[in-house]
Amino acid sequence: MDQFTINLLFVGASFAIYIGIAIWARAGSTSEFYAAGRGIHPVTNGMATAADWMSAASFISMAGLIAFTGYDNSTYLMGWTGGYVLLALLLAPYLRKFGRYTVSEFIGDRFYSPTARMVAVISLLVASLTYVIGQMTGVGVAFGRFLEVSNTAGLLIGACVVFAYAVFGGMKGVTYTQVAQYVVLIMAYTIPAVFISLQLTGNPIPGLGLFSTVESGEPLLQKLDQIVAELGFNEYTAHHGDTFNMVLFTLSLMIGTAGLPHVIMRFFTVPRVADARWSAGWALVFIALLYLTAPAVGAMARLNITEQFWPNGTSGEAVSVEQIATDPAYDWMQTWQQTGLLGWEDKNGDGRIQYYNDASPEMQERATAEGWEGNELTNFNQDILVLANPEIANLPGWVIGLVAAGGIAAALSTAAGLLLAISSAVSHDLIKGQLNPGISEKGELLSARIAMAVAIVVATYLGLNPPGFAAETVALAFGLAAASIFPALMMGIFTKVNNKGAVAGMLSGLIVTVVYIFLHKGWLFIPDTNSFTDADPLLGTIKSTSFGAVGAMVNFVVAFTVSKMTGAIPKEIEELVESVRVPRGAAAAQDH
């Protein structure tokens, strides 16, 4: 059986499960559509939350970022997992106790202001839509590679699947579908990692294998440090970046996690307040299974790739063009070259492919002495690393098929959660909350499904015609959530900031963050419209990806200042804030 058929079987079987669950768990009421009837068990909800959170960025991109940068990109691990601790302790139980369906509904009621609710809706829509565009683009890449169709066809197939189970199932269908997707993606991530860890270190646990010794008897990380340094790259385990920017970036990811609406919405689906905290705890456990494996996946893949290009050691001769063309161990290179995401060129015509850092002064000296004319691995898209990993390690075809299903599950699960956040913002907050308060439950459910369908069309269109950014979508989504939604939630629960302060704070955080990102990435991400770059930022060493933390600080300062200048909150709101923090009972969901 060829690899294409194996991929089809794994992806097709996983899809049959997802769509079957969506039909079985079809939402029949707004309570089931938005919050799954508040009947989800904490362990189930924790698993669904983990799938919701572990997007294409976590599954496909994160290990690649770590593999090619090393220690400095461990900030992704710290920021994204640390955010869940904030969620579990500071937000989830209080928001569940408040008893509303959406984040913007909480902000509107707590700050007794339709304007505050509208600003929250705008923040939520922009953050969620930018995030889902990246997911839909990831869906296209994964489908295109493993089903051997064009990126456009892959994206359209993926959009149809998302439409089927998100639009008809709502939160109830999405929750149980995401449980299935979590099982698929965690198996797809850990099984290849176990195989590769056994191959390299003899240890079946990848996280422990990372600190074990390789066949030669030296520690794996020590060997990797030595090899990459000999090729002119930074040592893998050393810190090379700016520490202040690193701290801000980690903080931005943490509070961005705690402020992302599609994640917060999951905590409205459990029966009791205590269950919200347990859900967050279980989510952290399920996320940790992948996040503790990612550093090992990155390090082991970097070692495997480097050794494939230098089979005789870094002081010997590089791999020959003939060996790449004829040796089955290098078949993965031919496969990925067809996608345009991997490329090499024999620049000096010596019949070999030299992979090294041609910007390093030491390597330039060696290159001159040996007649090399630059790094000949001309293109290695870091996003292919996890998907190509089983092929690089020459693992069985069924493992490659499983990874195909896992990568697609990761992108689809997050896309569904984001689309649900978008639809509830439009139908529940905009239409029912502002435009037509008397709308029937049936009408609200219909408007939610129409809003989600429109969001899928928009995201698919932008995925087909991406405005030239991928990592920037994630940076913008996190920056927006960190700078606008998280401070509003924190001040709503723990302070007596008034409505004017909250609106001024959210707008200030939102605007300053968007402007800073556009100054560095281009206005509306149009190429060559930027005034600065992340290599030479506007404010000291603060990159655009780290600015969400600064935006959040601006939000807090403006909100407290304006609130102090404009008077106290009403007595009933003060009592509401106090009641939310009292650790007993939970209000039923209010429909108004």
Can you give the pTM of this predicted structure? Answer: 0.84
| CB hemisphere CA count around 374 (13 angstroms) | 7
Q: How many residues can be counted in the chain?
A: 592
Distance CA 119, CA 67 (A): 39
Burial of 312 (C-beta count, 10 Å sphere; 0-12/13-18/19+) = exposed
Q: Using the 8-state DSSP alphabet, how is residue 50 labeled?
A: H
* pLDDT tens readout for residues 546-579: 999 999 999 999 999 999 999 888 888 888 888 8
| Domain locations along the chain | 3-294+394-475, 301-385
The residues near 147 (Cβ < 8 Å, ≥ 6 apart) are: 4, 7, 8, 11, 153, 154, 157
Q: 């202040």: which residue's tokens?
A: 244
Q: Are 83 and 258 in contact (CB under 8 A)?
A: yes
Distance CA 196, CA 209 (A): 9
Q: What tokens does 114 get?
A: 């339709």
In 3D space, the residue among 505, 506, 479, 514 whose CA is nearest the CA of residue 131 turns out to be 479
Q: Are 51 and 265 in contact (CB under 8 A)?
A: no
Identity of the residue numbered 428: H
Report the CATH architecture of 3-294+394-475.
Answer: Up-down Bundle (1.20)
Distance CA 347, CA 354 (A): 9
With a cut of 70, which residues of the chain have pLDDT below it? 22, 25-40, 100-102, 165-175, 261-262, 265-273, 413, 465-473, 582-592
